[in-house]
Structure 1
Amino acid sequence: MLSGNSLAAGVAAMIFTVGAAVMAPAGAQESASEALQDILDDHWAWMLEENPVFATSLGVRDYDDRLPDASLEAYEASVEKAREFVARLDALDADALSAEERLNRDLLRLDLAQDVEAAQYGGKYLVISGRGGPHTFLANLPDRLPFLTKADYESYIARLRVAPAYVDQVKERLRAGVEAGWTQPCVIMEGYEKSIDFHVVDAAEESVLFKPFENRPQTIPERDWRRLKNEAARVIEREVVPAVAGFGDFYRQEYAPACRETVGLSDLPDGADYYAFRTRQFTTTALTPDAIHDIGLKEVARIRKEMEAVIAESGFEGSFEEFQEFLRSDPRFYAKSEAELLEKNAYVAKKADGEMPKLFTRFPRMPYTVKPVPEDIAEATTTAYYERPAGDGSRAGVYRVNTSKLDTRPLYEIEALTLHEAVPGHHFQIALAQELDLPEFRKYTFFTAFVEGWGLYAESLGLDIGFYQDPYSNFGRLSYEMWRACRLVVDTGLHAKGWSRDRAIAFMAENTALSEHNIRAEVDRYIGNGGQALAYKIGELKLKELRARAARALGPDFDLRRFHDAVLENGGVPLSVLEAKIDAWIAAEKAR
């Protein structure tokens, strides 16, 4: 999301804001509160205008004919706007705000200040990765927009008309990156052109962009439907496909020859400082890359002992490496079809749904579904991911399962994977956050350490609700935890310690049961998005620390459901804010 000016200072300020409110004269309280609300309203209106597709998903239809402006000029204008908001927030009289209002102010300031700080680095040029670009953004539109009325379809066609301009903006930004020496590593972009070519089709009916026109809504008369289909086909074939083909030519002729041979962010101009910033941004802590690397090594050693204990429990006779090879190669652990893999994930998801009352007293209203990862990105994409529900209730959350290369998708990982991506993981936390009585920006702000830390913590909750009953699924859980511990070592190794891609792959292969294909895809992901992978384990460790603290303090009065409610009731927040909130919750529980 957005990035931070002085994260350590911002975090310290936020710890203070959670404390008791400072009393102020009624007039001052009202004036400061109104000024803050004006800022929140102005900021949210600006965010919706800057992100028109997101606005539509929330039911705001003012920008239905637009795509985001991806130009460097628009980016620089947004940074300047962020500076203006920071100045307005700094001008507020903090003592005249309630504790909750100060928290709102500080969270928004941190979010905006991170955006300002990020602008001094070249990350603004890295607008494509091996996993996506303008072609995949456009291809996702049918799944992100409503298609219920004639106006919905007309707006969609209007967006398709401006798609060529959007693609050109991305190209120009990438050209600026080439000139500045900021490009993606060659190794993670291998085969990227295939994902572009997938969308260069001869007929509109072959394009995923035509998918909304497969079935006519009953609200649209047949005559209007024929007109809309014909117009969409014309725009796709004559405007969008040529633009995507042009992006493919640009990639082959200009960008691919300019990609870099190095893999670490520290190899780029000011790259070491940029990685240190991203480390703070994604973990919401002041931890250095060296400190995180050491934490990772300790976690790897701890989890390895637990994995070896599970191997002994299984009765397997052989070394750790031989057990890993057994899991990677025995056909009993792999689905025989895409349908079977989806069905097994869906079954585990539904089974988990039924156990949620053991973990929470409050539940999100929005449902979720299980779907495959889109074909055009599947081979270069991770095992699974989650897509949040539409804010206006028009689309459920989606748990995306990668059904490509079935011999790399072991069944013993499904329980941990599903608990992470669906419930009690991402869907539960994110869908609930969207329904909380909070300022709009807090419902959708993505503090990665909280969100991904919760996802990893959710995997461990399977132990509380009867999952992981056989040694193989339990080993799968530990392998997933080990995977995230390895990320602390590998990400910092790649971007701060000069590790090569091969060294990172070897470390992952030695310590996890992930398939070789998955390991390569994951390492390439860390190369292309340095710092993000640190958030999972750092966030999970904090959540486990807070749970243990609460259990010790409350003894027999500790209620796991109420603890989880307290963790999630503020939406996603920095870890320092979460810690202060839970400490306050513990004190309140003692007083009950």
Structure 2
Amino acid sequence: MSLADEMFLALMEHAPLQATMLGVPGFDDRLDDLDVESEQKVRDRITALLRKAETDTEEDPVTLAVIRQQGTAAVNRIDSRLVEHTVGPGLGAAVNGLLLLAPRLDVSQRLDQFPRYIDQAAARVRDSDRRPLRRHLRLGVKRVDGVLAAPAQEWEGGHSAEIRAALGRYRDVLASIEDGRDDDKAGLCWLPDGQENYAKLVADYTTTSRTPEELHRLGLDLIAGLREEYAEIGSRLWGTKDVAEIFHRLRTELLWDSQEQMIESAVAAIARAEAEAPKWFGRMPSIGCQVLAVPEEEQRTSAIAFYQPAPADRSRPGTYWLNPLGATERSRTLSEATAFHEAVPGHHYQFSISGELDLPDMRKFAFIGAYLEGWGLYTERLADEMGLYSSDEQRLGMLGTDAMRAGRLVVDTGLHALGWSRQQAVDYLRENTVMTEPEIQSEIDRYIESPGQALSYMVGRLEIQRIRAEAETKMGDRFDVRAFHDLVVGSGPVPLSTLDQIVTRWADAP
């Protein structure tokens, strides 16, 4: 077995639920093991493989770079012990993440393991020296209470009684913790080894050497530049350069008339992108992308929009899921940018083409946030180059998503490295983005419970843009944007430093 296959097997056995999410076959009867001793055995196994990677001469350099990045990231996540203090409403929390994913994945073969997993999560929280945020303890209790008060869902199958009993035990652990952190100590820097853990997570998610302080300043500078773009489009659309007025109008006007209108807009945007894509990509996915509404029973706990890759056997297309809940209270300006990011030419092209490459599974399915989310955000601006936005109001939506990602650089580092309170982070997003109040509140909770993850979007976008610009300068008339995009998505997920090397070799070739 090659080193790449050894590392991939170790990572998938450590996170079999993620394997199912990625469409990797062979792990659908397993569930993650949260036991401390088990995690240390996994850590030892991955560390041994990382040592082998230092002297391996069989794997090619790109594959070795992916092995090192993915193995190091797994070790750092184990060391950060996030499971012990992430109990809130997002995917980052072990139990809530399981409850969110169970209706969307085939969990029928591992239902008997749910009680064990939930009890392990409860024990880790109960016995830790890293206390969760007090508000997240309350939200966790409320979430479980809601599940227990509702009728059994179809996914629970014949194990409903055991699963619900374990959820009750988990709920009691959360309710019993009286020394949760206050909102003014929301970040990792307030926890043991927090600064060190955060620095490692930042490196893992960005695959760059930029420090939290550098990223904080970068975010501030980007927000300032975006305000100028808002003023330019606002003056053209509404005759005003006042950014506060533009923000107010974006929050209160241009709302959807109906849920159906929201879905139809996404379908139309993706159709335009698919029609234009051959001018910008030489290689196309062999499978399409469908648009579906999140089922009604999942809408209250689902994200607004997300992409689900096609399974490895291509038994269904890639799926762009839209949550229509509260559509008439949401701005329609975000519709097209989100569709381009999540579907075409964003994650759908990325995941579909990667899955068709003749590469080791380690390369096909590597979860490298800066590459994956950086590409998604890159395609939002690429869509403007491609002429895909239907109006200036939709370009304002593009700026809105940019501002959210730039704001993440500021508030994520502010919370976890600079000691910001939760309220400071909320206030910053209120002033500098067009996000609604519920979105701001939920996003801040997400950043608190998934430290560093939110940095990957903008850092990745900027790096891909920089790499492209340098290749254009170097190649001049030889530069072919179709070949560049094929190279980026055709390399599979790689660290950004490795992508830089790949493109540099391509640009330098005669």
Distance 1:436 1:416 in 2: 27
| Equivalent residue runs for 1:100-179 within 5 Å | 101-126=60-85, 128-132=87-91, 133-134=94-95, 136-138=97-99, 140-145=101-106, 157-177=108-128
Where does residue 329 of structure 1 map in the other structure? Answer: 252
SS in 2 for 1:493: helix
Distance 1:250 1:341 in 2: 41
Deviation at 1:565, TM superposition (A): 0.6
Where does residue 490 of structure 1 map in the other structure? Answer: 411
SS in 1 for 2:306: strand
Bigger Cα displacement from structure 2, 244-253 vs 566-575 = 244-253
Partners of 1:131 and 1:381 within 8 A in 2: no
Does residue 587 (structure 1) correspond to residue 501 (structure 2)? The answer is no
Shift in alpha-carbon separation, 1:200–1:120, aligned structure 2, 3 A:
closer
Report the AA paired with residue 235 of structure 1: H
Distance 1:64 1:483 in 2: 35
Shift in alpha-carbon separation, 1:279–1:54, aligned structure 2, 3 A:
closer
Partners of 1:382 and 1:521 within 8 A in 2: no
Partners of 2:90 and 2:96 within 8 A in 1: no
Partners of 1:130 and 1:528 within 8 A in 2: no
- Among all aligned residue pairs of Structure 1 and Structure 2, give the percentage whose two residues are the same amino acid: 32
Where does residue 7 of structure 2 map in the other structure? Answer: 43
Where does residue 159 of structure 2 map in the other structure? Answer: 235
Partners of 1:195 and 1:376 within 8 A in 2: no
Distance 2:363 2:51 in 1: 20
Deviation at 1:580, TM superposition (A): 0.9
SS in 2 for 1:393: coil
SS in 1 for 2:401: helix
| Equivalent residue runs for 1:16-415 within 5 Å | 37-53=1-17, 58=23, 60-61=25-26, 64-92=28-56, 94=57, 97=58, 101-126=60-85, 128-132=87-91, 133-134=94-95, 136-138=97-99, 140-145=101-106, 157-177=108-128, 180=129, 182-188=130-136, 190-200=138-148, 203-204=151-152, 207-209=153-155, 232=157, 234-236=158-160, 238-254=161-177, 257-261=178-182, 262-317=185-240, 319-330=242-253, 333-373=254-294, 378=299, 382-415=303-336
Shift in alpha-carbon separation, 1:106–1:350, aligned structure 2, 3 A:
same
SS in 2 for 1:143: coil
Deviation at 1:361, TM superposition (A): 0.8
Partners of 1:361 and 1:565 within 8 A in 2: yes
Deviation at 1:418, TM superposition (A): 0.7
Q: What TM-score do the two structures reach when normalised by structure 1?
A: 0.79
Distance 1:198 1:398 in 2: 28
Instruction: Identify unmatched segments of 5+ residues in structure 1.
Output: 1-36, 146-155, 211-231
Distance 1:103 1:557 in 2: 25
- Superposed CA RMSD in Å reads 2.5
Shift in alpha-carbon separation, 1:187–1:366, aligned structure 2, 3 A:
farther
Q: Deviations over 1:329-366 (max 9, x none)?
A: 12xx2223333322322332233222221221112223
Partners of 1:341 and 1:403 within 8 A in 2: yes
Partners of 1:484 and 1:537 within 8 A in 2: yes
Q: Deviations over 1:95-128 (max 9, x none)?
A: xx4xx61322232123213333444433352454
Shift in alpha-carbon separation, 1:555–1:530, aligned structure 2, 3 A:
same
Bigger Cα displacement from structure 2, 416-425 vs 546-555 = 546-555
Report the AA paired with residue 415 of structure 1: E
Deviation at 1:70, TM superposition (A): 2.5
Distance 1:409 1:190 in 2: 27
Structure number with bigger Rg:
1
Partners of 1:457 and 1:543 within 8 A in 2: yes
Deviation at 1:526, TM superposition (A): 1.4
Partners of 1:491 and 1:527 within 8 A in 2: yes
* From 422, 444, 468, the counterpart of 1:547: 468
Report the AA paired with residue 231 of structure 2: E
Partners of 2:65 and 2:498 within 8 A in 1: no
Shift in alpha-carbon separation, 1:385–1:202, aligned structure 2, 3 A:
closer
SS in 2 for 1:385: strand
Distance 1:415 1:282 in 2: 26
SS in 2 for 1:446: coil
Report the AA paired with residue 104 of structure 1: T
SS in 2 for 1:86: helix
Distance 1:56 1:263 in 2: 32
Report the AA paired with residue 481 of structure 1: D
Deviation at 1:467, TM superposition (A): 2.2
Distance 2:50 2:241 in 1: 59
Partners of 2:426 and 2:440 within 8 A in 1: yes
Where does residue 224 of structure 1 map in the other structure? Answer: none
Bigger Cα displacement from structure 2, 41-50 vs 468-477 = 41-50
Q: Deviations over 1:5-25 (max 9, x none)?
A: xxxxxxxxxxxxxxxxxxxxx
Distance 1:184 1:408 in 2: 32
SS in 2 for 1:399: strand
Distance 1:425 1:560 in 2: 16
SS in 1 for 2:358: coil
Where does residue 221 of structure 1 map in the other structure? Answer: none
Shift in alpha-carbon separation, 1:49–1:545, aligned structure 2, 3 A:
closer
Distance 1:380 1:142 in 2: 11
Q: Deviations over 1:205-228 (max 9, x none)?
A: xx1416xxxxxxxxxxxxxxxxxx
Partners of 1:408 and 1:518 within 8 A in 2: no
Deviation at 1:296, TM superposition (A): 1.3
Q: What TM-score do the two structures reach when normalised by structure 2?
A: 0.91
Distance 1:267 1:242 in 2: 33
| Equivalent residue runs for 1:446-457 within 5 Å | 446-457=367-378
Partners of 2:69 and 2:495 within 8 A in 1: no
* From 352, 361, 364, the counterpart of 1:443: 364
Distance 2:81 2:29 in 1: 30
Distance 1:413 1:533 in 2: 18
Distance 2:346 2:136 in 1: 29
Partners of 2:265 and 2:336 within 8 A in 1: no
